[in-house]
Amino acid sequence: MCDWCVQHGDGKIWYLNAKNYARKMYKERKAEAKGGADVDFQRIVLEQLRDATSKINTEQWPSVKKNIESFVHRTHFGQVVPLQDMEKVLDIAWPIATMTCACRRQTRGLPDDDNVYCLGIGVGMYKWERWPDTYRGGVDFISPKEAKKFIENLNKKGVVHTAWTFGTPYIGGICNCEYDTCIGLRGRIDYDVKVLVKGHYVALVDTSKCNGCRACISRCQFGALKYSPTFEKAEINLQKCFGCGLCETGCPRHAIHLEPRSKFPVLANSW
Ligand code: SF4
Ligand code: SF4
Ligand code: SF4
């Protein structure tokens, strides 16, 4: 179990605990943030990351990284969630709305109409008009069934599903991310800052089913999957696996499946 399950899971994976989407939690997080409903966590975290990476030297980095992680884990951080768990989240969280992606806007300058990648969830969505920069492009409220279709389509494109707190443990957003545009993924992969933490699973290859077609390889954004020319099969480095499940959904032979990270003592505390 990760720290957030221990603190906020009530015996479940924390993002499957309905309490973490509740109106009561939203109000508590507002009090915690001391800025009311207008706190823009994305902007604050982004500014911290920019500041830290532009001004410091290598000796200062470990303590700066620790400070950023301590801050984001209290306020705004993400965890990788595979498609099957994300569908369970969409049965718990309400309301649900599509919205534009702040990272792609900043890194690619995508126009709003081509940039609808995120789902805003929970009662905070009723106040979306208070965050004009984050929610630019407007929001569109949809049903759980439509939301599942939305993320299934994105899964086919190979994006990583992530759940984000907006005042931990209140979960207010579901993101669908790619390494080249996502500030959270880049922060984690390029700088090892745990703005984004690993998911609760790791992927395993059934070598009796794998025919070495390599369809899964390019779906891994974490560098955990490789083709082994010796064995002519896919190989997964479990230390690098974030448990996103994209290799599983991309394998035409159903040769990959996810197992709980907790089954592997050496990985159990690797988030
Ligand atoms: S975390 Fe992912 S989906 Fe969310 S705003 Fe960033 S890139 Fe977009
Ligand atoms: S997509 Fe499936 S069959 Fe193809 S290499 Fe990957 S695990 Fe093997
Ligand atoms: S190996 Fe599969 S589950 Fe693990 S990070 Fe790569 S694509 Fe995701």
101 within ligand 1 shell (Cβ under 6 A):
yes
pLDDT value, residue 37? 42
**Same domain membership, residue 91 and residue 136:** yes
213 and 176 part of one domain: no
Ligand 1 atom with minimal separation from the 102 CA? 5
pLDDT at 48 > cutoff 50: yes
Q: Ligand 1 center to residue 116 CA distance, Å?
A: 10
Structural domain boundaries, residue 118:
3-197
Which pLDDT band, with edges at 50, 70 and 90, does 220 fall under?
very high
What is the number of the ligand 2 atom nearest to the C-alpha of 211?
3
Q: What is the mean pLDDT of residues 54-68?
A: 81
Q: Are residues 68 and 144 in the same domain?
A: yes
What is the SS3 string spanning the chain? CCHHHHHHCCCCCHHHCHHHHCHHHHHHHHHHHCCHHHCCHHHHHHHHHHHHHHHCCCCCHHHHHHHHHHHHHHCCCEEECCHHHHHHHHHHCCCEEEEECHHHHHHHCCCHHHCEEEEEECHHHHHHHHCCCCCCCCCEEECHHHHHHHHHHHHHHCCEEEEEECCCCCEEEEEEECCCCCHHHHHHHHHCCCCEECCCEEEEECCCCCCCCCCCHHHCCCCCEEEECCCCEEEECCCCCCCCCHHHHHCCCCCEEEEEHHHCCCCCCCC
Predicted pLDDT of residue 36: 43
Q: Do 155 and 255 lie in a common domain?
A: no
- Note the pLDDT of residue 35: 47
83-92, 101-110, 176-185, range with the lowest pLDDT? 101-110
Percent above pLDDT 90 for the chain? 69
Evaluate whether residue 143 is within a structural domain: yes
Q: How far is the CA of 207 from the centre of ligand 1 (A)?
A: 34
Model pTM greater than 0.85?
yes
Shared-domain flag, residues 120 and 185: yes
pLDDT of residue 22: 87
Residue with the nearest Cα to atom 6 of ligand 1? 103
pLDDT at 207: 97
Task: Inform me whether the pLDDT recorded for 134 exceeds 70.
Answer: no
In a domain, 270, yes or no: no
